[in-house]
Amino acid sequence: QVQLVESGGGLVQAGGSLRLSCAASGRTSRSYSVGWFRQAPGKEREFVTAINWSARSTRYADSVKGRFSISRDNAKNTVYLQMNSLKPEDTAVYYCAAATAWGNLVNVYEYDYWGQGTQVTVFS
């Protein structure tokens, strides 16, 4: 089992930045790929970005390319999501998730473990 805890969400003005963290505990000795998803009220959970164990491969949704950056520090069992140039449409609950394999990783069903989420609200 792996437990994931997100932090770093908050209220920010459009154009601002936030950095989210996803801390893992439990069976972290395995090699997990990690993804970030978000879910706005009344909408389905959508893929944001993902990173593989070695951090050599990353993937981004078109809506966040050039603004968001994912990274990881395996020594700290933590994955980060740097969000710059935030827009009101980025407002959502952000979830991190862990997958035991590197595949497409843009689908919710590919992930084995999920955090509880952290709220990000961007106001104009």
Instruction: Give the pLDDT of residue 31.
Output: 85
Question: DSSP secondary-structure letter at 15?
Answer: T
pLDDT in the model for residue 46? 98
Residue carrying the six token digits 């998803």: 37
- Predicted local confidence at residue 103, as pLDDT: 80
Using alpha carbons, select from 89, 97, 102 the residue that is nearest to residue 47: 97
pLDDT for position 47: 98
**Amino acid 107: pLDDT:** 95
Mean pLDDT by 10 residues, the chain (124 residues): 96 98 86 95 97 93 98 95 98 96 88 97 97
Which of these, 100, 9, 96, lies nearest to 53 by C-alpha position? 100
